[in-house]
Chain A
Amino acid sequence: MKGKGSGAMFLAWNEIKNNRLRFTLVIGVLMLISYLVFFLSGLANGLEQLNREAVDKWEADGVILTEESDLRLQQSILSTDDFDGAGVDEYTELSQLSAIASNGDKKVNVYIFAVEPDSFMMPNVTEGDNFAGRGEVIADDTLKEDGFKIGDELSLSSTDETLEIVGFTDKARFNAAPVLFTDAETLETLHSRKMTEADEDVVNAFIIRTDNLDDVEAAEALQVVDTETFIENLPGYTEQNLTLTLMIYFLFIISAVVLAIFLYVLTIQKISIFGVMKAQGISSRYLAGSVVAQTFLLSLAGVMIGFVLAVITGLFLPAAVPVAFNYLEMLVYGTVLIVVSIIGAFISVQTIVRIDPLKAIGG
């Protein structure tokens, strides 16, 4: 950072250079705040993915569920006859079951999704084979971190039936639990109680791809929602997001206030210096500009260090902490932090404008 060239930077930079301890402290505080902001944003992002990555992978535009289901998959029970694909480009059926699966060593909460083998919901196999016979599943690859492997026999909490992992797929977590993909027949055998009395095929939802959700014609008592709405209604999803987002917003305010206080105190200490400069004829605008320039330098430094620290911390965190950085979002948050810091500096700008040079030079 040279800062020699531009006008306002000259004072700003020289003051920083000659009061290192003071400004290191300011940068330190900003660094901690931005570190926290970045970390929370990573956490929010990670938790989001934990909930929705399986759904995102479908690249579907909407979901059809029953009216009564309150948009909860397991509460929605509908017949395959209820929808014939009227008004959509593509659709597929989804049946699901949540269960505790164990390979003998470890127990995990999982979702078992029955998907149609030729549909767009069919996961890509990243390791091993596709499910083919009864009882075979493809599992989300985060299960590998829990010690699950291809060939593992899984016993389930709700039934005597067992499943076998024949392959893995990536990015397949739904509502904070890994997904096991299988076919409809296998899922059928797992249901402890029959869902319907007739021979009717029963599913939980239709997943659809279409350009216009309004054109979709589904039976009465069904509702068509867009994918985003469906995700937002996943248990805990919105609450979690809102909490973290609120914390981040509070941190923005806190950083503005903290910096405003810091700069105000520094400005108060410099009143006589500023006053003398004003007496000489140096404009308030120039002096205020130097404070704003200084704030920019300090917040930029704080935010950048906070960013680097957050990313480094992310590398060393255990996999159980769901931190996933979204660099674009971090760029936005970093910019916001710098902007609110500069807003905080405006209290000092007012003080500078009001300094009476006469008082400063005192007769």
Chain B
Amino acid sequence: MAILELKKVQKTFGSGKTKVEAMKETDFKAGKGELIAVIGPSGSGKSTFLTIAGGLQTPTNGEVVINGTALSDIKEKKRAKLRLKEVGFVLQASNLVPYLNVAQQMHVLDKVKKGNMGREEAEALYQSLGIEHLLYNFPKDLSGGEKQRVAIAKALYTNPSIILADEPTASLDSDRAFEVMGILKEMTKEKQTATIVVTHDTRLINDCDKVYKITDGKMELHEIMRRTT
């Protein structure tokens, strides 16, 4: 079952001479346990796709359906709630709150939402991400890779059904990048999330279930990779 669906989604910025069609009409589906990579050159529309999929911006035409709810049917307040419940974002730049330590980054989510990971589950998550010894560190005391792993933990902590990662490996060296991709894959399978990873690093796409390529706003299935079991 598709947990995330884009139906005839199209996005245009500006009008007249400055008009940019950042996303041409696109249909897209992502199901549980699927790890999907989206690649493409800079300016091709990858972030646009991801933010529309996550309900951070509204498409010019078409419809985004998250777990059965059409985003155009609800107001921003509800959309924020839906994001909190269903979507975990992992961003290129660190999305950590500088004045909270690692444990508190998660704790703040408990303040705003119920149904997050329990203690044991969270500890298992920290273990598998290798951050269990960093819980009382503040973001400034973490390396880039550690920050990224904490960001992943944060995205997963709320038990989302969809994980959207925009260049999660951009600030990492290639060993770390592979490691982070590996973790995302593992989590996708374990938690049965639909995970979409935007990247322009083509070396990272080998383990993905599907790979899409965007060129000038046009999104196409790039190559169906062999399913790894």
From B82, B98, B154, give the contact of A273 (CB < 8 A). B98
Check: A279 CB closer than 8 A to any chain B CB.
yes
Given contacts A11-B108, A18-B99, contact A361 B166 (CB under 8 A): yes
Q: How far is the CB of A358 from chain B (nearest CB, A)?
A: 5
**Which residues on B sit within 8 Å (CB–CB) of A15?**
99
Contacting residues, chain A, for B97 (C-beta < 8 A): 11, 273, 276-277
Q: Check A286 against B56 for contact (C-beta < 8 Å).
A: no
Residues in B with CB closer than 8 Å to A361 are: 51, 56, 89, 91, 93, 95, 166
Q: Which residues of A contact B99 (CB under 8 A)?
A: 14-15, 17-19
Tally of chain A residues near chain B (CB < 8 A): 24
B114 sits at the interface (CB 8 A):
no
Q: Does B200 contact A (CB under 8 A)?
A: no
The A-B contact count (CB < 8 A) is: 79
Pairwise interchain contact A363-B48, C-beta atoms closer than 8 A: yes
User: Is A281's CB under 8 angstroms from B87's CB?
Assistant: yes
Q: Shortest distance in angstroms between A357's beta carbon and chain B's nearest beta carbon?
A: 6
**Once the chains bind, are B56 and A10 in contact (CB under 8 Å)?**
no
Q: Does A278 contact B (CB under 8 A)?
A: yes
Give the Cβ gap from B161 to chain A, nearest Cβ, in Å. Answer: 13
CB distance from B95 to the nearest CB of A (A): 4
Against B, the Cβ 8 Å flags (1 = close, 0 = not) of A346-359 are 00000000000110
CB distance A283 to B77 under 8 Å?
A: yes
Q: Does B138 lie within 8 Å of A18, measured CB to CB?
A: yes
Whether B89 contacts A279 by the Cβ 8 Å rule is yes
* A132 is an interface residue with CB less than 8 A from chain B: no
Contact B48 A278 (CB under 8 A): no
Q: Is B80 an interface residue (CB 8 A)?
A: yes
Q: Which of B90-139 contact A (CB under 8 A)?
A: 91, 93, 95, 97-100, 104, 107-109, 111-113, 138
Of residues 312 to 363 in A, which have CB atoms within 8 Å of B's CB atoms? 357-358, 361-363
Task: Please indicate the chain B residues that have their CB under 8 angstroms from the CB of A277 in the complex.
Answer: 97, 108
- Given A281-B87, A358-B56, A363-B166, A286 and B112 contact (CB-CB distance below 8 Å): yes
CA distance A19 to B99 in the complex (A): 8
What chain B residues lie within 8 Å of A192 (beta carbons)? Answer: none
Residues of B within 8 A of A278 (CB): 80
Contact of A7 with B by CB under 8 A: yes
A363, B112: Cβ atoms under 8 Å? no
Is the C-beta of A282 less than 8 angstroms from some C-beta in chain B?
yes
Report whether A280 and B89 are in contact in the complex, using a CB–CB cutoff of 8 Å.
Answer: yes
Within the assembled complex, what's the spacing in Å between the Cα atoms of A296 and B95? 27
Whether B83 sits at the interface, judged by CB under 8 Å, is yes
Contact across chains for A7 and B48 when beta carbons are under 8 A apart: no
Verify A281–B104 contact, CB threshold 8 A: no
- Which A residues lie within 8 Å of B111 (CB)? 7, 10-11, 286
B84 A10 Cβ-Cβ under 8 A: no
Interface check B85, CB cutoff 8 A: yes
Complex contacts, A362 vs chain B, CB 8 Å:
93
Give me 8 other A-B pairs in contact (C-beta within 8 A), A277-B108, A280-B154, A281-B84 excluded. A7-B111, A10-B111, A11-B111, A18-B99, A282-B109, A284-B80, A363-B46, A363-B51
B residues adjacent to A (C-beta < 8 A): 46-48, 50-51, 54, 56-57, 77, 80-85, 87-89, 91, 93, 95, 97-100, 104, 107-109, 111-113, 138, 154, 166
List the 7 closest A-B pairs by CB distance, nearest first: A363-B47, A281-B84, A281-B83, A18-B99, A276-B95, A7-B111, A15-B99
